[in-house]
Every structure is written in structure tokens, then in C-alpha cells.
Chain A
């Protein structure tokens, strides 16, 4: 989302033209497409198809109200999926994220019960829930990193155990209602119209400044900067997207806070993954752990921290789910949460074999899954249909990825 892809610089004599012409630029783009570097194009294409299909079945699908619904529906899965992207980048798996998200929701709910000695303010309850998630991640990650137990087994054990913990914590009540407005607002508050516009403006200006700074910084070091036209197009597109989203949301009560939270986390984690040494080391460990170790990277520390990120994000996602229902019950963290989150990351383009993927994959994948789920509810199909369709799309996404990878190998990329 942010300018995350490293720009191309060429090792060429000084005499070579510093920039390519526009025609070469467009030609190069299509060449990359043919070579199999399609980015998120297939997902966007899928979104358009889904939108057209459900629109033709029910005109309520393409409305501002439903747009906001989808944003809130996808928030929980997006947040959990962002965490799992980091684990997948290492080539590991975390099967416990569903019930760890349940633990997050239950923690918040328990800390909100009125009259209890451990009742705390809403914000503190959320922070504590996320910390509990991080602690679970440190615990599970230590087994993987320090002892060498396969992550599949460690987190499978987690899947079972944390489900038990959720049920014990809720106990005979069966359901705990969340009293705090602060917590419930995470999923139910919408920003006033002017706030929405302000955020859109801030995002557009921020993106433009970052892009400008990058271009100047690259010029200063005499490495090839991207074509100015491309940069301008990108900035304009991002700005347009921000304002269009805010305009649609404002027609149905304002931008949902959950959507803002997802975008903020997306920017933050993309920054961590692409712009910091930590993120670089995560990709390196996922690509070749032995090579990373020999260059002095602390592979064990990276593994543990990544599992902490994943579980902490799962807990936060659980808070979002709980806030949406304003309660948690014995099913908290169950259902399709785990598989939806992993599917979202994979449909978005993150590889299950490590080293390849982006944080944004989680969000576009979650958007696709939520758009389908929402449409199927709206049209009145059964949830059986939903499972079948989502399953087919997951299979299609992974097949496409495999075919494209072979194509990339064939053209030598």
C-alpha cells in the first residue's frame, strides 16, 4: 500500500539515460504481467466479478450502507490475517489464532464486568488483551524457536488448549456482555463526516510527501528513481481512493472506526515488514534460515517475536469480533475464524512456503472473503454455499499462484 516495493536501480554506465521513456515504461509493465508478476490484479478482478454478480442478484449489495457493513465485517479477519502473514513469511504456521482471538475477546469481556474487583477502563482492557495474546505467542514461539518443535504441532496443541481455556473462562454464564462503550465502539463507532474528510486528506498528503521524499533521497544517491509520471499517477490514485471511500462511507453514517483501525495497522505493519531491519530479517529467515544465521541474524529471536506479533494481532482481532457482537459466548474464536484468516492471507498472495508475501495480502484477501460472505447472506443462499464458494476461490488462488510461479521461473525472474 505504501511505497513498499523497492524501486529498480540499474548498474549501468553513467552514460545510460537515467530514465526510460513512457512507452518503455508501459511496455515494461506489460512484459512483467506476461512474465507472471501480476500482483493483486487477480484479486481485484475477482472483486469486480463478485460485485457484479451479487449486484445483479440484489441491488442492495452495492449501497453505501452495505459498503460500511463489509468494512466492519472484514475488520476482524483482516487484523488476524495480518499477523498470520508474518508467520507464513517464516514458512511456519499458526493454527491457534482462532482461539487466541477468542482469548482476546474473553479477556476484554472479563475485565469489563461491572462490580468485579478486576474491572478496568476499556482501553486498558484492550491493551491487556493484546498483551495476553503476545504472551501466548512468546510461549508457543519458544517451543518452535528454542526447542525445535514443529509449529504445526505446537499451535495445534494451542488450538485445543485455548479453546478449553475460553470455555472455562466463560463458565456457566454461557455468555458475557461487554459493558464498556470504549470497547464496543471499536466495531460500532463511525467517525463524523468531517473527521473522515480530514483523515482522507491527511492520508493523501502523507502518501505524497513520502513518495516525494523517496524520489529526492534516491536522486541524491544517484540511484535510478522511478519515473515521475508513475509516482504522480500513484499519488493521485491513492488520494482518489481515500476520498471515494470516505464519500461512500459518509453517505451511510460515516467511516467506521474499525476500517480506520485496519488501515492504520496495515500501514504500520507494512512499514515494519518492508522498511525496517526486523522486517528484512523476517524475509531472510523465511527465504534461507541457515544463510540468515551465518550472517549473524538472531534467527531464534526473530521466530519468537513473529509468533508474538501473530498472537497479539489475533487477540486484537478477537476484541474487534467481540465488540461487534457486544458480547462473547462459548463459541468465541471458533467457527471459520482460523481458516478465514489463513485463506485471506493466501488468497491475497502470501506463500505458504515462506519468504514471499505482503501485509496488504491479508487485507485484500479478507475483503474478498467478506464480500462473498456478505453477498451470500444478502441474497439468501445458505452458509453451505458460502463454504463451497470460498473453498473454490482458495483453490483457484493457490493454483493461479503456482502457475504464475512456474511462469516466473520460465522467464528467469
Chain B
């Protein structure tokens, strides 16, 4: 089955690229292609202008592409440090865990992202609030010198204050020079943090919009009805239907 065709998607360092579309538009599929969970049948992936092949999650990690899944993929029975290093624990030749190093680096990462609401890095993740859990998942993604971070619906299950925390965090990631891809259904959130917006509809890309030069209404129409592909950055002043 063909899920995506003729999709062009790019994200630059230091920007938040929002990826929007109705259910079944192919957002998650696109993310899974980039992160190596699905393989692509045709087309190419360019990373820093060089073609790369991504055949599995490990290939993506090696390039510095990290995904924060909608379900966060955290282990409730482990603490913050243990989750941050899950699968990539620091250890010596005897496979001994180097806890103090991991704890120090975790604290540094959280501090650098201004995540201050987590009282102890040794709290079990089960005891954290939704926003804190999201912060841990995002911090885990950026700790590995990542270049591109893909966030799948990071605010979907959060309340107002916690959404605020996470959106601030997303902005800070871009300010630190990372390329951030944000999938969301919430246009309000997107207009708050995104630099550019890519709209997908039924597996095709409808267009790339600059946040500064578009409106929520235009995006909604692109999502639901679809409008001709526009070239990013060229303001056609009166996009169709606006």
C-alpha cells in the first residue's frame, strides 16, 4: 500500500518545523521513515546535503536523529536517570554501570533545558506529572548531541500549564541550534512555536507555509481541502481561499 507519494519535507537547524495534517495524512508514517522504523521504497534522504541511507533506528541515532514518541516510551518502574540512559548506559569493560557519571550528566542536561520542576533525578518516572514525563522524554532525545529531534504530539495529553512547559522546551531546543520537527493537531500550539509549517493531506504534501505569513484559517483549509503547493518563502499575498 502506498502511504506517501511526492512528499518533500525539510527542516533546517535552529527552526521548529511543524508537520500538520488530518488523521491518516501520513505524518507519523513520514516520521517513521526518517527515523528508520519503516524503509522507503523510493526517494532519498539528505542529511547536511549528503544523501544518507537509514535502515533502522540505530542508523538514525548515529546521524543524530532522535524521536520522541507519542507514548514517550518511558519505563515507569525506572527513575529519571535510568530512563535517560536506557539502552545506552555508561559502563566500564565489566559492564558495570557508572551511576555517578550518568546522574551528573542527567542533571546537567535537565538544567541546560531549564527543566526545574523535577525534584530529584532519582524519582521514579511513575511519580512524575505528564509535563515532567514529556520533559524527560525530550531531554533523553537531545542528550546525545542530536541534530534533529522529531516530536510526535508532545502536548496531546497535557493540561494548560504543562503544555506551556513543553512548548517553552521546544522553543529552547531550536534556540540551541537543533532542527526540531513538531507533529501536532493543535494549531494554537503550532502558531506559538513553529517557524514553518508543512501540511500533508492524503499522503501528499500540500505546501510549506511560513508562520509569519500565514493564518490559522489558511492552514485549516490546506489540511481539509488542500491548496496548490506553494514555494516556501514566496508570499503570494492572497493564498487561495484566504
Contact = CB atoms under 8 A, between A and B. Distances in A.
B73 interface: yes
Given A223-B104, A284-B78, A278 B95 contact: yes
Contacts of A221: 100-101, 103-104
A10 to B, nearest CB: 5
A217 B76 contact: no
Contact of A6 (B75, B79, B86, B89): B79
Contact of A287 (B61, B76, B116): B76
A292 B120 CA distance: 23
Interface in B57-112: 57-58, 61, 69, 72-79, 81-82, 86-89, 91, 94-97, 99-101, 103-104, 107, 110-111
Given A280-B89, A291-B75, A11 B110 contact: yes
B116 A11 contact: yes
A294 B73 contact: yes
A153 interface: no
Interface residues of A, number: 35
A210 interface: no
A382 interface: no
A11 B122 CA distance: 10
A283 B77 contact: yes
Nearest to A220: B100
Contacts of B103: 9, 218, 221, 223
Interface residues on B, range: 35 or more
Contacts, number: 106
A34 interface: no
Contacts of B165: none
B99 A6 contact: yes
A115 interface: no
B76 to A, nearest CB: 6
A356 B57 contact: no
Given A9-B107, A223-B104, A413-B124, A292 B118 contact: no
Contacts of A220: 100
A286 B86 CA distance: 13
A9 B121 contact: yes
A305 to B, nearest CB: 13
Given A221-B103, A287-B75, A297 B87 contact: yes
A290 B75 CA distance: 9
Contacts of A354: 77
Contact of B95 (A222, A276, A292): A276
Interface string A168-208: 00000000000000000000000000000000000000000
Contacts of B89: 277, 280
A8 interface: yes
B97 A277 contact: yes
A294 B88 CA distance: 12
A217 B100 contact: yes
Interface of B: 57-58, 61, 69, 72-79, 81-82, 86-89, 91, 94-97, 99-101, 103-104, 107, 110-111, 115-116, 118-122, 124, 126-127
Given A6-B99, A9-B120, 13 more contacts: A6-B122, A275-B97, A276-B94, A277-B95, A281-B87, A286-B77, A287-B78, A291-B73, A291-B74, A291-B86, A294-B57, A296-B57, A355-B76
